[in-house]
A and B are shown apart, each in its own frame.
Chain A
Amino acid sequence: MYLYPLWVRIWHMVNLVLFLLLIATGLSLQYSSNDYTIIPFGYAISLHNITGVILCVGYVFYLFANRFTSNGNYYQFRLTGMFSRVFKQFKYYSYGIFKKEDPPFPVSVGRKFNPLQKISYVVVMYVFMPIIILTGLGLFFPDFLPDKLFGTSGIHIIDLIHIVIGFILSIFMLIHIYFCTIGKTTSANFKSMINGWH
Protein backbone atom coordinates (compact mmCIF):
# COMPACT_ATOMS: atom_id res chain seq x y z
CA MET A 1 0.00 0.00 0.00
CA TYR A 2 1.14 3.59 -0.71
CA LEU A 3 1.53 5.08 2.77
CA TYR A 4 4.18 7.76 2.72
CA PRO A 5 3.49 10.76 0.46
CA LEU A 6 6.41 12.58 -1.11
CA TRP A 7 6.39 15.55 1.30
CA VAL A 8 6.52 13.20 4.31
CA ARG A 9 9.46 11.32 2.79
CA ILE A 10 11.38 14.50 1.98
CA TRP A 11 10.65 16.01 5.40
CA HIS A 12 11.67 12.75 7.09
CA MET A 13 14.95 12.53 5.13
CA VAL A 14 15.81 16.16 5.81
CA ASN A 15 15.08 15.57 9.49
CA LEU A 16 17.37 12.54 9.49
CA VAL A 17 20.29 14.54 8.07
CA LEU A 18 19.61 17.48 10.41
CA PHE A 19 19.37 15.23 13.46
CA LEU A 20 22.67 13.53 12.66
CA LEU A 21 24.41 16.88 12.13
CA LEU A 22 22.86 18.38 15.26
CA ILE A 23 23.86 15.40 17.39
CA ALA A 24 27.42 15.39 16.03
CA THR A 25 27.92 19.15 16.41
CA GLY A 26 26.09 19.23 19.75
CA LEU A 27 28.30 16.50 21.20
CA SER A 28 31.37 18.23 19.80
CA LEU A 29 30.41 21.51 21.49
CA GLN A 30 29.45 19.91 24.79
CA TYR A 31 32.71 17.99 25.00
CA SER A 32 34.96 20.58 23.38
CA SER A 33 38.52 20.33 24.59
CA ASN A 34 42.00 21.64 24.09
CA ASP A 35 43.36 18.10 23.98
CA TYR A 36 41.30 16.75 21.08
CA THR A 37 39.02 18.04 18.34
CA ILE A 38 35.88 16.27 17.19
CA ILE A 39 34.69 19.13 14.98
CA PRO A 40 36.52 22.51 15.21
CA PHE A 41 34.57 24.65 17.68
CA GLY A 42 33.86 27.52 15.27
CA TYR A 43 32.55 25.17 12.55
CA ALA A 44 30.52 23.20 15.07
CA ILE A 45 28.83 26.39 16.34
CA SER A 46 27.99 27.60 12.82
CA LEU A 47 26.79 24.20 11.62
CA HIS A 48 24.72 23.65 14.78
CA ASN A 49 23.10 27.07 14.37
CA ILE A 50 22.35 26.65 10.66
CA THR A 51 20.96 23.09 11.00
CA GLY A 52 18.98 24.18 14.06
CA VAL A 53 17.31 27.00 12.13
CA ILE A 54 16.49 24.62 9.22
CA LEU A 55 15.05 22.11 11.71
CA CYS A 56 12.94 24.90 13.17
CA VAL A 57 11.59 25.85 9.73
CA GLY A 58 10.98 22.16 8.95
CA TYR A 59 9.06 21.76 12.19
CA VAL A 60 6.78 24.69 11.42
CA PHE A 61 6.19 23.17 7.97
CA TYR A 62 5.40 19.82 9.62
CA LEU A 63 2.86 21.44 11.97
CA PHE A 64 1.09 23.15 9.05
CA ALA A 65 1.20 20.04 6.88
CA ASN A 66 -0.25 17.89 9.64
CA ARG A 67 -2.93 20.49 10.24
CA PHE A 68 -4.03 20.69 6.61
CA THR A 69 -3.48 17.10 5.37
CA SER A 70 -4.74 13.73 6.57
CA ASN A 71 -1.26 12.88 7.91
CA GLY A 72 -2.17 14.61 11.18
CA ASN A 73 -4.85 11.97 11.81
CA TYR A 74 -2.16 9.35 12.44
CA TYR A 75 -1.08 11.25 15.54
CA GLN A 76 -4.52 11.32 17.12
CA PHE A 77 -5.29 8.80 19.82
CA ARG A 78 -7.91 7.92 22.39
CA LEU A 79 -6.76 8.01 25.97
CA THR A 80 -9.18 5.26 26.97
CA GLY A 81 -7.34 1.95 26.85
CA MET A 82 -4.15 3.64 25.62
CA PHE A 83 -2.01 2.09 28.30
CA SER A 84 -3.16 -1.47 27.61
CA ARG A 85 -2.66 -1.01 23.85
CA VAL A 86 0.84 0.36 24.39
CA PHE A 87 1.64 -2.45 26.78
CA LYS A 88 0.34 -5.03 24.27
CA GLN A 89 2.69 -3.63 21.63
CA PHE A 90 5.54 -3.51 24.15
CA LYS A 91 4.94 -7.18 25.00
CA TYR A 92 5.07 -8.02 21.30
CA TYR A 93 8.44 -6.29 20.87
CA SER A 94 9.75 -7.83 24.12
CA TYR A 95 9.02 -11.47 23.44
CA GLY A 96 6.08 -11.95 21.00
CA ILE A 97 8.37 -11.12 18.13
CA PHE A 98 10.71 -13.95 19.15
CA LYS A 99 7.80 -16.41 19.24
CA LYS A 100 6.89 -15.33 15.70
CA GLU A 101 3.52 -13.95 16.84
CA ASP A 102 1.66 -11.65 14.44
CA PRO A 103 1.97 -7.92 15.23
CA PRO A 104 -1.01 -6.91 17.42
CA PHE A 105 -1.53 -3.69 15.45
CA PRO A 106 -0.54 -4.34 11.81
CA VAL A 107 0.08 -1.38 9.54
CA SER A 108 -2.87 -0.31 7.37
CA VAL A 109 -3.91 2.80 5.48
CA GLY A 110 -5.90 3.87 8.53
CA ARG A 111 -3.17 2.93 11.00
CA LYS A 112 0.32 3.90 10.00
CA PHE A 113 1.65 3.76 13.57
CA ASN A 114 1.17 1.12 16.25
CA PRO A 115 0.18 2.48 19.72
CA LEU A 116 3.78 2.48 21.01
CA GLN A 117 4.99 4.33 17.93
CA LYS A 118 2.06 6.71 18.12
CA ILE A 119 2.59 7.69 21.76
CA SER A 120 6.35 8.05 21.31
CA TYR A 121 5.98 10.11 18.11
CA VAL A 122 3.39 12.37 19.75
CA VAL A 123 5.63 12.96 22.76
CA VAL A 124 8.68 13.53 20.55
CA MET A 125 7.00 15.77 17.99
CA TYR A 126 4.61 17.73 20.21
CA VAL A 127 6.50 17.88 23.53
CA PHE A 128 10.24 17.39 23.08
CA MET A 129 10.62 19.09 19.70
CA PRO A 130 8.97 22.37 20.79
CA ILE A 131 11.11 22.37 23.95
CA ILE A 132 14.38 21.77 22.13
CA ILE A 133 13.49 24.34 19.44
CA LEU A 134 12.46 27.00 21.95
CA THR A 135 15.50 26.44 24.18
CA GLY A 136 17.69 26.39 21.06
CA LEU A 137 16.25 29.72 19.95
CA GLY A 138 16.88 31.02 23.48
CA LEU A 139 20.54 30.05 23.21
CA PHE A 140 20.68 31.58 19.72
CA PHE A 141 19.39 34.87 21.15
CA PRO A 142 20.77 34.78 24.72
CA ASP A 143 20.01 38.47 25.29
CA PHE A 144 16.32 37.57 25.53
CA LEU A 145 16.89 35.02 28.30
CA PRO A 146 16.43 36.00 31.95
CA ASP A 147 19.72 36.73 33.75
CA LYS A 148 18.74 34.55 36.69
CA LEU A 149 16.51 31.50 36.89
CA PHE A 150 16.11 29.45 40.09
CA GLY A 151 19.16 31.12 41.62
CA THR A 152 21.52 30.33 38.77
CA SER A 153 22.14 31.95 35.41
CA GLY A 154 19.15 31.76 33.03
CA ILE A 155 21.27 30.64 30.11
CA HIS A 156 22.57 27.73 32.20
CA ILE A 157 19.08 26.36 32.96
CA ILE A 158 17.99 26.77 29.33
CA ASP A 159 21.12 25.04 28.08
CA LEU A 160 20.68 22.24 30.60
CA ILE A 161 17.12 21.62 29.34
CA HIS A 162 18.39 21.82 25.74
CA ILE A 163 21.10 19.20 26.20
CA VAL A 164 18.93 16.85 28.28
CA ILE A 165 16.14 16.91 25.66
CA GLY A 166 18.80 16.63 22.95
CA PHE A 167 20.10 13.51 24.63
CA ILE A 168 16.59 12.02 24.94
CA LEU A 169 15.96 12.70 21.24
CA SER A 170 19.29 11.08 20.36
CA ILE A 171 18.27 7.96 22.27
CA PHE A 172 14.86 8.08 20.54
CA MET A 173 16.63 8.25 17.18
CA LEU A 174 18.81 5.26 18.01
CA ILE A 175 15.78 3.16 18.95
CA HIS A 176 13.78 4.57 16.00
CA ILE A 177 16.45 3.50 13.50
CA TYR A 178 16.72 0.05 15.06
CA PHE A 179 12.96 -0.44 14.96
CA CYS A 180 13.03 0.35 11.25
CA THR A 181 14.80 -2.97 10.80
CA ILE A 182 11.70 -4.70 12.17
CA GLY A 183 9.73 -5.06 8.97
CA LYS A 184 8.91 -7.83 6.53
CA THR A 185 12.62 -7.83 5.81
CA THR A 186 15.39 -5.88 7.56
CA SER A 187 15.54 -3.34 4.76
CA ALA A 188 11.81 -3.19 3.88
CA ASN A 189 11.04 -0.11 5.96
CA PHE A 190 14.10 1.72 4.66
CA LYS A 191 12.92 1.08 1.08
CA SER A 192 9.47 2.39 2.04
CA MET A 193 11.08 5.65 3.10
CA ILE A 194 12.40 6.05 -0.42
CA ASN A 195 9.50 4.85 -2.60
CA GLY A 196 6.59 5.51 -0.24
CA TRP A 197 5.14 1.99 -0.53
CA HIS A 198 4.74 -0.17 2.55
Chain B
Amino acid sequence: MKRFSLINVLLLLSIFLTAEEMNEDHIDHSPLNSKCFNCHANSTYTFFNEFQERTVTKRMNPYFLIDSVIFYDQNHKSFECVDCHSYDYRSFPHDNELSLDLMPTCLDCHEGDDATADYHFEEIDKEFLESVHSTKHSDDFTCWMCHNPHTYKINARNNQNIKETIVYDNNICLSCHADINKYQLITNKQNPNVIEKHDWLPNQIAHFAHVRCIECHTLATNDILVAHQIQTKDKAVKKCVECHSKNSILMASLYKFRAVESRNKFGFFNSVILSDTYIIGANRNYYLNIMSGLVFGIVLLIIIIHAILRILIK
Protein backbone atom coordinates (compact mmCIF):
# COMPACT_ATOMS: atom_id res chain seq x y z
CA MET B 1 0.00 0.00 0.00
CA LYS B 2 1.32 3.39 -0.91
CA ARG B 3 1.50 6.35 1.33
CA PHE B 4 1.02 9.83 -0.04
CA SER B 5 3.46 12.27 1.45
CA LEU B 6 2.73 16.00 1.50
CA ILE B 7 5.38 16.51 -1.18
CA ASN B 8 3.71 13.99 -3.44
CA VAL B 9 0.34 15.66 -3.01
CA LEU B 10 1.87 19.02 -3.87
CA LEU B 11 3.59 17.47 -6.86
CA LEU B 12 0.32 16.02 -8.07
CA LEU B 13 -1.31 19.42 -7.73
CA SER B 14 1.50 21.03 -9.69
CA ILE B 15 1.11 18.43 -12.44
CA PHE B 16 -2.57 19.18 -12.72
CA LEU B 17 -2.08 22.93 -12.66
CA THR B 18 0.87 23.01 -15.06
CA ALA B 19 -0.71 20.60 -17.47
CA GLU B 20 -3.92 22.60 -17.45
CA GLU B 21 -2.06 25.82 -18.14
CA MET B 22 -0.14 24.20 -20.99
CA ASN B 23 -3.11 22.93 -22.87
CA GLU B 24 -6.69 23.48 -21.95
CA ASP B 25 -8.35 21.54 -24.71
CA HIS B 26 -7.42 17.95 -24.16
CA ILE B 27 -5.80 16.96 -20.91
CA ASP B 28 -7.25 13.89 -19.40
CA HIS B 29 -5.98 14.12 -15.88
CA SER B 30 -6.04 10.44 -15.62
CA PRO B 31 -6.09 9.37 -11.99
CA LEU B 32 -4.26 6.30 -13.14
CA ASN B 33 -1.39 8.40 -14.57
CA SER B 34 -1.26 10.33 -11.33
CA LYS B 35 -0.89 7.07 -9.48
CA CYS B 36 2.04 6.11 -11.73
CA PHE B 37 3.65 9.52 -11.47
CA ASN B 38 3.35 9.37 -7.73
CA CYS B 39 6.37 7.09 -7.89
CA HIS B 40 7.79 7.52 -11.40
CA ALA B 41 7.99 11.31 -11.26
CA ASN B 42 10.05 11.22 -8.07
CA SER B 43 13.58 10.18 -7.34
CA THR B 44 12.29 8.09 -4.40
CA TYR B 45 9.12 6.11 -3.74
CA THR B 46 7.60 4.95 -0.49
CA PHE B 47 5.51 1.88 0.11
CA PHE B 48 4.49 -0.49 2.87
CA ASN B 49 6.66 -3.61 2.79
CA GLU B 50 4.40 -6.43 3.90
CA PHE B 51 7.28 -8.83 4.49
CA GLN B 52 9.07 -6.42 6.78
CA GLU B 53 5.79 -4.98 8.03
CA ARG B 54 7.05 -1.44 7.80
CA THR B 55 7.03 1.51 5.42
CA VAL B 56 10.17 1.75 3.32
CA THR B 57 11.53 4.34 0.93
CA LYS B 58 13.51 3.28 -2.13
CA ARG B 59 15.35 5.12 -4.87
CA MET B 60 13.64 5.17 -8.26
CA ASN B 61 15.68 3.71 -11.09
CA PRO B 62 16.70 6.87 -13.02
CA TYR B 63 15.85 5.18 -16.35
CA PHE B 64 12.26 4.72 -15.13
CA LEU B 65 11.95 8.29 -13.94
CA ILE B 66 9.49 10.33 -16.02
CA ASP B 67 9.30 14.11 -15.92
CA SER B 68 5.55 14.60 -15.62
CA VAL B 69 5.69 18.25 -16.72
CA ILE B 70 7.45 17.28 -19.96
CA PHE B 71 5.12 14.28 -20.36
CA TYR B 72 2.07 16.57 -20.35
CA ASP B 73 3.68 18.83 -22.97
CA GLN B 74 4.54 16.20 -25.58
CA ASN B 75 2.76 14.53 -28.46
CA HIS B 76 1.15 11.71 -26.51
CA LYS B 77 0.19 13.81 -23.51
CA SER B 78 -3.42 12.66 -23.56
CA PHE B 79 -2.40 9.03 -23.18
CA GLU B 80 -2.83 6.91 -20.14
CA CYS B 81 0.33 5.08 -19.17
CA VAL B 82 -1.41 1.77 -19.73
CA ASP B 83 -2.29 2.71 -23.29
CA CYS B 84 1.25 1.60 -24.11
CA HIS B 85 2.34 -0.27 -21.01
CA SER B 86 0.64 -3.42 -19.77
CA TYR B 87 -2.58 -2.97 -17.89
CA ASP B 88 -1.09 -5.17 -15.18
CA TYR B 89 1.24 -2.34 -14.21
CA ARG B 90 -1.68 -0.96 -12.26
CA SER B 91 -0.84 -3.29 -9.43
CA PHE B 92 2.14 -2.84 -7.17
CA PRO B 93 4.69 -4.34 -6.74
CA HIS B 94 4.89 -4.79 -10.52
CA ASP B 95 5.34 -8.27 -11.89
CA ASN B 96 8.94 -8.59 -13.13
CA GLU B 97 7.84 -10.41 -16.25
CA LEU B 98 5.98 -7.34 -17.44
CA SER B 99 9.27 -5.78 -18.45
CA LEU B 100 9.65 -8.53 -21.06
CA ASP B 101 6.58 -7.31 -22.93
CA LEU B 102 7.07 -5.94 -26.44
CA MET B 103 6.38 -2.24 -26.65
CA PRO B 104 4.19 -0.99 -29.50
CA THR B 105 5.90 0.97 -32.29
CA CYS B 106 4.59 4.00 -34.16
CA LEU B 107 2.95 1.97 -36.91
CA ASP B 108 1.01 -0.13 -34.43
CA CYS B 109 -1.20 2.90 -33.91
CA HIS B 110 -0.51 5.18 -36.86
CA GLU B 111 -0.58 2.80 -39.80
CA GLY B 112 -3.52 3.71 -41.99
CA ASP B 113 -4.60 6.33 -39.49
CA ASP B 114 -6.35 9.15 -41.38
CA ALA B 115 -5.90 11.56 -38.49
CA THR B 116 -2.12 11.43 -38.87
CA ALA B 117 -1.98 10.86 -42.65
CA ASP B 118 -0.07 14.14 -43.16
CA TYR B 119 2.86 12.69 -41.28
CA HIS B 120 3.26 9.80 -43.74
CA PHE B 121 4.14 7.23 -41.10
CA GLU B 122 4.24 4.44 -43.68
CA GLU B 123 6.87 6.31 -45.72
CA ILE B 124 8.81 7.14 -42.58
CA ASP B 125 8.84 3.47 -41.68
CA LYS B 126 9.97 2.57 -45.21
CA GLU B 127 12.84 5.05 -45.00
CA PHE B 128 13.76 3.86 -41.54
CA LEU B 129 13.91 0.24 -42.72
CA GLU B 130 16.38 1.34 -45.42
CA SER B 131 18.47 3.36 -43.00
CA VAL B 132 21.65 2.15 -41.28
CA HIS B 133 19.80 2.27 -37.99
CA SER B 134 17.63 -0.55 -39.19
CA THR B 135 19.89 -2.48 -41.59
CA LYS B 136 22.94 -2.52 -39.31
CA HIS B 137 21.14 -3.20 -36.05
CA SER B 138 18.72 -5.68 -34.59
CA ASP B 139 15.00 -5.23 -34.15
CA ASP B 140 15.80 -3.64 -30.82
CA PHE B 141 16.35 -0.45 -32.76
CA THR B 142 12.79 0.86 -32.87
CA CYS B 143 11.26 4.31 -33.27
CA TRP B 144 11.63 4.78 -29.54
CA MET B 145 15.43 4.76 -29.73
CA CYS B 146 15.25 8.27 -31.16
CA HIS B 147 11.76 9.39 -30.28
CA ASN B 148 11.38 9.05 -26.56
CA PRO B 149 7.66 8.33 -26.11
CA HIS B 150 7.55 10.23 -22.82
CA THR B 151 9.11 13.41 -24.17
CA TYR B 152 8.91 13.48 -27.97
CA LYS B 153 7.28 16.53 -29.45
CA ILE B 154 7.06 17.33 -33.17
CA ASN B 155 9.26 20.30 -33.86
CA ALA B 156 10.14 21.02 -37.49
CA ARG B 157 6.47 21.36 -38.41
CA ASN B 158 5.36 23.51 -35.50
CA ASN B 159 8.31 25.56 -34.38
CA GLN B 160 9.00 28.80 -36.23
CA ASN B 161 12.36 29.06 -34.50
CA ILE B 162 14.71 27.06 -36.72
CA LYS B 163 17.54 27.23 -34.19
CA GLU B 164 15.37 25.52 -31.56
CA THR B 165 14.44 22.83 -34.07
CA ILE B 166 18.13 22.28 -34.84
CA VAL B 167 19.05 21.89 -31.18
CA TYR B 168 16.05 19.63 -30.53
CA ASP B 169 16.71 17.36 -33.50
CA ASN B 170 20.48 17.19 -32.97
CA ASN B 171 19.94 16.26 -29.33
CA ILE B 172 17.99 13.23 -30.55
CA CYS B 173 21.11 12.02 -32.43
CA LEU B 174 23.40 12.94 -29.56
CA SER B 175 21.23 11.06 -27.08
CA CYS B 176 22.98 7.94 -28.43
CA HIS B 177 26.06 9.28 -30.22
CA ALA B 178 27.21 11.25 -27.20
CA ASP B 179 26.01 8.77 -24.58
CA ILE B 180 27.86 5.47 -24.46
CA ASN B 181 25.31 3.93 -22.06
CA LYS B 182 22.44 4.29 -24.50
CA TYR B 183 24.67 3.55 -27.52
CA GLN B 184 25.63 0.20 -26.00
CA LEU B 185 21.99 -0.85 -25.86
CA ILE B 186 22.25 -1.77 -29.52
CA THR B 187 25.92 -2.33 -30.28
CA ASN B 188 29.24 -3.27 -28.74
CA LYS B 189 31.11 -1.02 -31.13
CA GLN B 190 33.00 2.01 -29.91
CA ASN B 191 30.89 5.12 -30.10
CA PRO B 192 32.60 7.43 -32.61
CA ASN B 193 33.60 10.80 -31.20
CA VAL B 194 31.37 13.26 -33.06
CA ILE B 195 33.77 16.19 -32.68
CA GLU B 196 36.82 14.25 -33.88
CA LYS B 197 34.93 12.64 -36.77
CA HIS B 198 34.03 16.11 -38.01
CA ASP B 199 37.56 17.53 -37.73
CA TRP B 200 37.59 18.08 -41.47
CA LEU B 201 34.57 20.40 -41.28
CA PRO B 202 35.57 24.08 -41.34
CA ASN B 203 33.97 26.31 -38.72
CA GLN B 204 32.58 23.28 -36.90
CA ILE B 205 30.79 25.28 -34.19
CA ALA B 206 28.84 27.35 -36.71
CA HIS B 207 27.84 24.25 -38.68
CA PHE B 208 26.71 22.34 -35.58
CA ALA B 209 24.66 25.34 -34.44
CA HIS B 210 23.01 26.05 -37.78
CA VAL B 211 22.28 22.69 -39.37
CA ARG B 212 21.04 19.36 -38.13
CA CYS B 213 23.03 16.12 -38.32
CA ILE B 214 20.38 14.72 -40.68
CA GLU B 215 21.04 17.44 -43.28
CA CYS B 216 24.22 15.62 -44.29
CA HIS B 217 23.51 12.12 -43.02
CA THR B 218 20.15 11.36 -44.62
CA LEU B 219 18.80 11.05 -48.11
CA ALA B 220 16.08 13.71 -48.43
CA THR B 221 12.97 12.70 -50.34
CA ASN B 222 9.90 14.62 -51.41
CA ASP B 223 7.26 12.74 -49.46
CA ILE B 224 8.15 13.36 -45.85
CA LEU B 225 9.20 16.46 -43.98
CA VAL B 226 12.03 14.99 -41.94
CA ALA B 227 14.14 12.42 -43.77
CA HIS B 228 14.61 9.15 -41.89
CA GLN B 229 16.91 7.27 -44.24
CA ILE B 230 20.16 7.63 -42.32
CA GLN B 231 23.00 6.84 -44.70
CA THR B 232 26.30 5.10 -44.14
CA LYS B 233 29.09 7.54 -43.37
CA ASP B 234 30.66 7.19 -46.83
CA LYS B 235 27.43 8.56 -48.32
CA ALA B 236 27.27 11.59 -46.01
CA VAL B 237 27.40 15.01 -47.65
CA LYS B 238 30.97 16.27 -47.59
CA LYS B 239 30.95 18.62 -50.55
CA CYS B 240 30.57 22.21 -49.33
CA VAL B 241 28.68 23.33 -52.43
CA GLU B 242 25.85 20.86 -51.74
CA CYS B 243 24.64 23.49 -49.26
CA HIS B 244 26.68 26.52 -50.31
CA SER B 245 25.10 26.99 -53.70
CA LYS B 246 21.99 28.36 -55.33
CA ASN B 247 20.43 24.88 -55.32
CA SER B 248 21.25 24.28 -51.67
CA ILE B 249 20.09 20.90 -50.37
CA LEU B 250 19.01 22.67 -47.19
CA MET B 251 15.93 23.80 -49.06
CA ALA B 252 14.88 20.16 -49.31
CA SER B 253 15.62 19.43 -45.69
CA LEU B 254 15.97 22.00 -42.91
CA TYR B 255 13.98 24.71 -44.68
CA LYS B 256 11.57 22.39 -46.48
CA PHE B 257 8.51 23.45 -44.52
CA ARG B 258 9.13 27.12 -45.22
CA ALA B 259 10.32 26.64 -48.76
CA VAL B 260 7.07 27.47 -50.52
CA GLU B 261 8.06 31.09 -51.05
CA SER B 262 11.69 30.39 -51.97
CA ARG B 263 12.91 29.93 -55.55
CA ASN B 264 11.79 33.50 -56.13
CA LYS B 265 14.34 34.74 -58.59
CA PHE B 266 13.45 38.41 -58.12
CA GLY B 267 15.21 38.77 -54.80
CA PHE B 268 17.36 36.64 -52.61
CA PHE B 269 17.70 33.04 -53.65
CA ASN B 270 16.50 30.64 -50.92
CA SER B 271 15.19 33.67 -49.02
CA VAL B 272 13.53 31.62 -46.26
CA ILE B 273 16.99 30.95 -44.84
CA LEU B 274 17.64 34.64 -44.33
CA SER B 275 15.37 35.13 -41.34
CA ASP B 276 17.62 32.79 -39.35
CA THR B 277 21.06 32.86 -40.88
CA TYR B 278 22.99 33.40 -44.08
CA ILE B 279 24.71 30.78 -46.17
CA ILE B 280 27.54 31.83 -48.45
CA GLY B 281 26.70 30.87 -52.01
CA ALA B 282 23.07 30.01 -51.29
CA ASN B 283 21.72 33.49 -50.65
CA ARG B 284 22.70 35.57 -53.65
CA ASN B 285 20.52 38.46 -54.66
CA TYR B 286 19.11 38.60 -58.15
CA TYR B 287 19.16 42.41 -58.34
CA LEU B 288 22.68 42.68 -56.95
CA ASN B 289 23.87 40.07 -59.43
CA ILE B 290 22.40 42.03 -62.36
CA MET B 291 23.54 45.41 -61.03
CA SER B 292 27.11 44.31 -60.32
CA GLY B 293 27.39 42.75 -63.78
CA LEU B 294 26.04 45.92 -65.33
CA VAL B 295 28.36 48.26 -63.40
CA PHE B 296 31.37 46.06 -64.15
CA GLY B 297 30.45 45.99 -67.86
CA ILE B 298 29.98 49.76 -68.08
CA VAL B 299 33.28 50.48 -66.28
CA LEU B 300 35.11 48.01 -68.52
CA LEU B 301 33.53 49.55 -71.62
CA ILE B 302 34.56 53.08 -70.57
CA ILE B 303 38.11 51.88 -69.92
CA ILE B 304 38.31 50.15 -73.30
CA ILE B 305 36.93 53.22 -75.15
CA HIS B 306 39.31 55.50 -73.19
CA ALA B 307 42.28 53.26 -74.00
CA ILE B 308 41.38 53.01 -77.70
CA LEU B 309 41.01 56.78 -77.96
CA ARG B 310 44.38 57.26 -76.28
CA ILE B 311 46.01 54.87 -78.73
CA LEU B 312 44.32 56.46 -81.74
CA ILE B 313 45.18 60.02 -80.73
CA LYS B 314 48.77 59.22 -79.73
Within 8 A of A (CB), among B256-314: 274-278, 280-281, 283-285, 288, 292, 295-296, 299-300, 303, 306-307, 309-310, 313
Q: Chain B binding site: helix, strand, loop or mixed by DSSP?
A: helix
Known contacts A159-B280, A174-B299, A174-B303; A32 and B245 CB within 8 A of each other: yes
Known contacts A32-B245, A98-B309, A98-B313; A171 and B202 CB within 8 A of each other: no
A153 in complex: contacting residue of B275, B296, B307, B309, CB < 8 Å: B275
Is A55 an interface residue when CB atoms closer than 8 A count as contact? no
A155–B303 alpha-carbon span in the complex (Å):
35
Please tell me which stretch of A40-48, A57-65, A103-111, A123-131 contacts chain B, meaning at least 4 of its Cβ atoms lie within 8 angstroms of it: A40-48
Chain A 118-160 against B: per-residue CB contact (8 Å), 1 yes, 0 no? 0000000000000000000000001100000000110110011
Is A167 an interface residue when CB atoms closer than 8 A count as contact? yes
Write out the residue numbers on chain A whose beta carbons fall within 8 Å of the beta carbon of B296. 170-171, 174
Please determine whether B276 and A153 come into contact, CB atoms closer than 8 angstroms. Answer: yes
Within 8 A of B (CB), among A1-47: 29-34, 37, 41-42, 45-46
Write out the residue numbers on chain A whose beta carbons fall within 8 Å of the beta carbon of B295. 167, 171
Q: Chain A binding site: helix, strand, loop or mixed by DSSP?
A: helix
A34 in complex: contacting residue of B203, B241, B276, CB < 8 Å: B241
Chain B residue nearest in CB terms to A140: B203
Please determine whether A171 and B280 come into contact, CB atoms closer than 8 angstroms. Answer: no
A46–B283 alpha-carbon span in the complex (Å):
20
A30–B282 alpha-carbon span in the complex (Å):
8
A159–B268 alpha-carbon span in the complex (Å):
13
Number of A interface residues at 8 Å Cβ cutoff, please give it: 33
Chain A 72-105 against B: per-residue CB contact (8 Å), 1 yes, 0 no? 0000000000000000000001000110100000
B288: shortest Cβ distance to chain A, in Å?
A: 7
Please determine whether A32 and B244 come into contact, CB atoms closer than 8 angstroms. Answer: yes
A31–B246 alpha-carbon span in the complex (Å):
8
A46–B206 alpha-carbon span in the complex (Å):
15
Number of B interface residues at 8 Å Cβ cutoff, please give it: 34
Is A54 an interface residue when CB atoms closer than 8 A count as contact? no
Is A164 an interface residue when CB atoms closer than 8 A count as contact? yes
Is B205 an interface residue when CB atoms closer than 8 A count as contact? yes
Is A187 an interface residue when CB atoms closer than 8 A count as contact? no
Within 8 A of A (CB), among B227-267: 239-242, 244-247
Is A68 an interface residue when CB atoms closer than 8 A count as contact? no
Is A181 an interface residue when CB atoms closer than 8 A count as contact? yes
A163–B247 alpha-carbon span in the complex (Å):
20
Write out the residue numbers on chain A whose beta carbons fall within 8 Å of the beta carbon of B306. 93, 178
Chain A residue nearest in CB terms to B303: A178
The 4 closest A-B pairs by CB, nearest first: A41-B240, A32-B281, A156-B278, A155-B278
A100-B313, A155-B277 given; 14 more Cβ-contact pairs under 8 Å: A30-B281, A31-B284, A33-B241, A33-B246, A41-B239, A46-B202, A98-B309, A143-B205, A152-B274, A153-B274, A153-B276, A164-B288, A175-B299, A181-B307
What are 7 A-B interface contacts by the 8 Å CB criterion?
A30-B281, A31-B284, A41-B240, A42-B240, A46-B202, A98-B313, A153-B276
